Amino acid sequence: MEQPNLSYINSMSGGDKAFEKKLIDIIKGEFPEEKKVYFQNFEAKNYQLTAENVHKLKHKISILGLEKSYDVAVNYENNLIDGNTDGRIEFESILQIMTDFLETL
């Protein structure tokens, strides 16, 4: 499975380390709460809200350079809209990889 990276953030920043730090801090602040809400909505079997959570999370997936994982999230989001949970295990493993990566920053 692909690994998160800061390539996209670095390319956006133009070398501005303060900007990079601010963006990383925002992601580190928002991601845990968004992940928590995702799991709450999934456990409640509210798949429409879960799809909205996936939609929000997939932007962070993209920012962390996870291109293939972004596609997984898009497919999972579409499945959830249809009331289908196919793709859940792969998506949740992406969330764990992101969690582990953000903890190292």
Scanning the structure block, which residue is given the tokens 């493993």? Answer: 93
pLDDT at 88 over 90: yes
Domain chopping of the chain, boundaries: 7-104
pLDDT band at 43 (very low <50, low <70, confident <90, very high): very high
Give burial (CB, 10 Å; 0-12/13-18/19+) of 1.
exposed
Q: What is the pLDDT of residue 1?
A: 75
Q: What is the pLDDT of residue 19?
A: 96
d(CA 17, CA 39): 33
The DSSP result for 76-92, as a single string, is HHHHHHTT--TTHHHHH
Mean pLDDT on 36-42: 98
The string of pLDDT tens digits covering residues 17-29 is 999 999 999 999 9
Mean pLDDT on 19-44: 97
